Amino acid sequence: MVSERMKVRTTRGARDVAAAVVLHAIVLGGIFGAGWLDHRHEANWGDLQAQAGAVQATMVSSLPLPPRVKPREDSVLASETPSVAPPVKKAAVEPPPEPRAVPVPEKRTPPKKVAPQPTYAPPKVASEPPPKPTNRVTSGQTSGVRIAMQAVKNSVGTSAINVTDQSFGDRFGYYVRAMNAKISQQWLTQSLDANAQGRRVYLTFRIDREGVPGDVRIVQSSGDRTLDQSAVRALERIDTLGPLPDAYSGSYITVQYYFEPQG
Amino acid sequence: MLVMRIFKWWRWSAVLAVTAVGSVRAQDTVFTGTNKGADRVRIAAAGFHAEVGEAAPLKQTFDSVLESDLKNAGVFDVVAKSMQPQAEPAGPKQVDLAAWGGGATAAAYVAFGSFTAQGGKAAVNAYVFDTHNAQYPQVIGKQYTDVADDAAARMMAHRFADEIILRLGGGVAGIAETKIYYVHAGGGVKEIWAMDYDGANPHAVTRLGGIALSPRVSPDNSRVAFASLDKYGFQIKMYSLLLGRMVSFAPQAGTNIAPAWSPGGQLAWSSSKSGDPEIYVADASGNGAHRVTNYKGPDVSPSWNPKTGSQMAWISGRTGLPQMYTMDADGANVQRMTDGGYATSVSWSPNGQFLAFAWNRKYGPGAPGGQDIYVMDVASKKWIQLTNGLGQCDFPTWSPDGRHVAFAVGSGARGQVWTMLADGTGKHKLAGGDMPNWSFK
């Protein structure tokens, strides 16, 4: 009888312990499980986060500062303001000839005959000589004094034709370089289509004496609308490219420009 | 191929010429494109040539100021003195372009010239040459004359540097001739002081013997408005830089602080005449004051859009902690810009695109971070943080070229005025002071 009761008690005790263990397991599992469920979508510190991207390259690049030069990683002196001086090349020294060496005679090849290439001469605009003065009286009922407009027109025409890239670019290379840098800075390529790569859009625009670009026109479309549009926007974004050089006498320059995304 | 292309452009120019004939005096055509490589312009500043004697110490000043101006500009890669030739060419005949453009120097441009001083007059012949253009190397040729003293040598260097920045930096005028106005604390008083943009030549502007705060210089550099504490409380005061004395500004009821100039010469400030700090706008003499904000909670620290003059950014506590807002100049179209934290002073960039402001992004006990300078793109409300770990940063102010931001670190007698490029690089201390304000030009 006694042993019966003992047995009942022990089995009951074992059952209680088992229930307690199961209950604890459920509670602990619930805590850890809830924690895991709650936090499994949160990124750890230092992970890439879409939200952390409040900093965008577009914005900084539209500050009127040039892009920073990347420090060279192989250089122990890498700094924020690296100096891009190239290494000085050593002149190659030829080994002295051996004292008893006999020079090998060089084989002479007859010069290749080349057919004369046709050259394209610039189309010349003939300037009419001003009419010779006559001895006629210029007072009274004459047709009035006329300025030789033709000659002016011609000289403008010829200068526009002759003075292409070469003249302005050679004379004021610094202006062209500064202009290039500024336009490149203002060209935002994030909005480009994937198939805009390797295409080229040709534009023309004018720069007046104050340096303000205007009259932007697409000469030859790239066939990609996003590229065409971003190129025009880049120019529209610019307030001034800097006043034209003082030594330049013209009232404006026409720039023919192309945009080509890095392939 | 090349011939064909040239021919193509020839034909093009011919068409242009025909259409342009008659309406034009003369024009040039330039053919260029992107993907041609654009980096910082590498420039070398040679020591200026000077005879020994009167000119020698002034020439040292001129050289060092010119070099620091070019370095500060943010658009140049200035060749280190140790990597460039030791020669000091006096004129175009003496300069050896191959030496400056090649080797370790590899400068695209070189600035050089001569400095002469005689009988109390100094003259500078200054040149910038393009090292890779043997035929037409001259980019700039300028002559400056002034009295022969240290301040004048400094000024001539600033003017030459600004000319170089204008010509080679994409047409944005340099800031070497601008000034920074700030609050100088000492001896129990706070006065308005001014210094050159590089921290040189700090000097007192006002001598009122009281508390003067938040100086703002007018767009034409003729007046400085500031808040002053006297027996009637805080009032807006006006100091004429042309007359060198105080000029009148109509006294207002309540506490009046934080003046701000519009590009057209109007003044906005914060006044508590209605019992609650609100933004008011009046003319430069304080006449015709009218209120533009109307909401419970403090409205302070206005800043106009310098590009259009038709918008204002300011700080408002209408939802609890102070936040940054923008509105039209008549008070319409209010937009909240910051989404939380504790924003204080704000400054609108000269091109109208950005707001620089001081922000404690996670405000509260035990929160990480501190008060730092941020820049926000107005259109997209995207921001970047520019300072970190310097201490309590406040009162950002844009330089007129939009490439620099000056700000205060700390406050009171221990405050310092710092400057940096607008992308957060090149931070350095200028002077002891507080509440800087960059002049318009």
Question: Running along chain A, 263 residues long, what does each successive block of 10 average in pLDDT?
Answer: 61 88 95 85 52 40 58 56 68 79 83 76 58 56 31 24 54 84 78 80 88 90 88 87 87 84 68
The chain B residue lying nearest A155, using CA atoms, is B26
Q: Determine contact: B79 vs chain A, CB below 8 A.
A: yes
Instruction: Look up residue B35 and give its two tokens.
Output: 């993907």
Residue B23 lies in a domain: no
Q: Do A252 and B24 touch (CB under 8 A)?
A: yes
Cα B387 to chain centroid distance, Å, stands at 18
pLDDT in tens, B126-145: 999 999 888 889 999 999 99
- The string of DSSP letters for B223-264 reads EEEEEEEETTEEEEEEEETTTTEEE-----SS-EEEEEE-TT
Q: Are residues B278 and B205 in the same domain?
A: yes
- CA–CA distance, A14 with A7 (Å, rounded to integer): 11
Q: Are residues B387 and B325 in the same domain?
A: yes
pLDDT in tens, B171-204: 888 999 999 999 999 888 999 999 999 999 999 9
Q: Are residues B163 and B199 in the same domain?
A: no
Residue B195 lies in a domain: yes
- The string of DSSP letters for B42-68 reads EEEEPPPB--SSTHHHHHHHHHHHHHH
The chain A residue lying nearest B40, using CA atoms, is A66
Cβ neighbours for B187, distance < 8 A, ≥ 6 positions apart: none
Q: What is the pLDDT of residue B43?
A: 94
Q: Do A187 and B353 touch (CB under 8 A)?
A: no
Percent residues over pLDDT 90 in chain A: 8
Q: What is the pLDDT of residue A75?
A: 55
Q: Are residues B129 and B236 in the same domain?
A: no
pLDDT in tens, A192-209: 788 888 788 888 888 889
Q: What is the pLDDT of residue A113?
A: 84
Instruction: Look up residue B233 and give its two tokens.
Output: 């409380």
The chain B residue lying nearest A258, using CA atoms, is B33
Q: Are residues B223 and B313 in the same domain?
A: yes
Q: Are residues B150 and B261 in the same domain?
A: no
Cβ neighbours for B156, distance < 8 A, ≥ 6 positions apart: B62, B122, B124, B144, B146
The CATH code belonging to domain A165-259 is: 3.30.1150.10
Q: Determine contact: A1 vs chain B, CB below 8 A.
A: no
Q: Are residues B84 and B185 in the same domain?
A: no
Q: Determine contact: A57 vs chain B, CB below 8 A.
A: no
Instruction: Give the residue from B117, B147, B168 where a domain finishes.
Output: B168
Alpha-helix runs per DSSP H in B354-426:
none
CATH number, domain containing residue B68: 3.40.50.10070
Alpha-helix runs per DSSP H in B290-378:
none
Q: B83, B118, B117: which is closest to B101 by C-alpha?
A: B83
Residue B13 lies in a domain: no
Q: Determine contact: A232 vs chain B, CB below 8 A.
A: no
Where b means 16+ CB within 10 Å and e means fewer, B359-385 reads bbbebeeeeeebbbbbbbbbeeeebbe
Cα-flanking dihedrals φ and ψ of residue B146, to 5°?
A: -165, 180
Which of B34, B172, B351 would you mutate first to test chain A, the one with the most A CBs within 10 A? B34
| B301, pLDDT greater than 90 | yes
Cβ neighbours for B409, distance < 8 A, ≥ 6 positions apart: B390, B391, B392, B393, B415, B416, B417, B418, B429
Q: Are residues B160 and B277 in the same domain?
A: no
Q: What is the pLDDT of residue A167?
A: 74
Q: What is the pLDDT of residue A65?
A: 65
Residue B174 lies in a domain: no
CATH number, domain containing residue B381: 2.120.10.30
Confidence band, pLDDT 50/70/90 cuts, at residue B232: confident
Residue B6 lies in a domain: no
pLDDT in tens, B405-414: 999 999 888 8
Q: Are residues B211 and B347 in the same domain?
A: yes
Cα-flanking dihedrals φ and ψ of residue A103, to 5°?
A: -65, 135
Chain A (68-87) residues lying within 8 Å, Cβ to Cβ, of chain B: 68-69, 80-81, 83-86
Query: How many Cα atoms occupy the beta-carbon half-sphere of B163 within 13 Å?
Result: 19
Residue B160 lies in a domain: yes
Where b means 16+ CB within 10 Å and e means fewer, B246-275 reads eeebeebebbbbbbbbbbeebbbbbbbeee
The mean pLDDT of chain B is 88
Instruction: Give the residue from B110, B133, B168 where a domain finishes.
Output: B168
- CA–CA distance, B18 with A158 (Å, rounded to integer): 10
Q: What is the pLDDT of residue B21?
A: 35
**Domain extent for B412:** 179-438
User: Could you tell me how many CB contacts below 8 A there are between chain A and chain B?
Assistant: 233
pLDDT in tens, B379-388: 888 888 999 9
Q: What is the pLDDT of residue B24?
A: 38
| B5, pLDDT greater than 80 | no
Q: What is the pLDDT of residue B423?
A: 86
Instruction: Look up residue B181 and give its two tokens.
Output: 């106005």
Number of domains, chain B = 2
Which of A60, A62, A65 would you mutate first to test chain B, the one with the most B CBs within 10 A? A65
Q: Determine contact: A157 vs chain B, CB below 8 A.
A: yes
| B374, pLDDT greater than 90 | yes
Q: What is the pLDDT of residue A131?
A: 65
Q: Determine contact: B107 vs chain A, CB below 8 A.
A: no
Q: Which long-range contacts (CB under 8 A, 24 or more apart) does B155-162 make?
A: B156/B62, B156/B122, B156/B124, B157/B61, B157/B62, B157/B63, B157/B65, B157/B66, B157/B69, B158/B65, B158/B69, B158/B196, B160/B66, B160/B111, B160/B124, B160/B126, B161/B65, B161/B66, B161/B69, B161/B70, B161/B73, B162/B69
User: With 0-12 CB in 10 A as exposed, 13-18 as middle and 19+ as buried, what is A19?
Assistant: exposed
Where b means 16+ CB within 10 Å and e means fewer, B306-334 reads bbebebbbbbbbeeeebbbbbbebebeee
Instruction: Give the residue from B168, B191, B217 where a domain finishes.
Output: B168
Q: Are residues B201 and B138 in the same domain?
A: no
Distance of residue B130 Cα from the nearest chain A Cα, in angstroms: 7
DSSP designation for B106: -
Instruction: Look up residue A71 and give its two tokens.
Output: 């420090």
DSSP designation for B174: P
The mean pLDDT of chain A is 70
Q: What is the pLDDT of residue A57?
A: 37
pLDDT in tens, B9-31: 444 444 333 333 333 344 455 65
Q: A188, A217, A187, A220: which is closest to A205 by C-alpha?
A: A217
Q: What is the pLDDT of residue A59?
A: 41
Q: Do B104 and A88 touch (CB under 8 A)?
A: yes
What SS3 string covers chain A?
CHHHHHHHHHHHHHHHHHHHHHHHHHHHHHHHHHHHHHHCCCCCCCCCCCCCCCCCHHHHHCCCCCCCCCCCCCCCCCCCCCCCCCCCCCCCCCCCCCCCCCCCCCCCCCCCCCCCCCCCCCCCCCCCCCCCCCCCCCCCCCCCCCCCHHHHHHHHHHHHHHCCHHHHHHHCHHHHHHHHHHHHHHCCCCCCCHHHCCCCEEEEEEEECCCCEEEEEEEECCCCHHHHHHHHHHHHCCCCCCCCCCCCCCCEEEEEEEECCCC
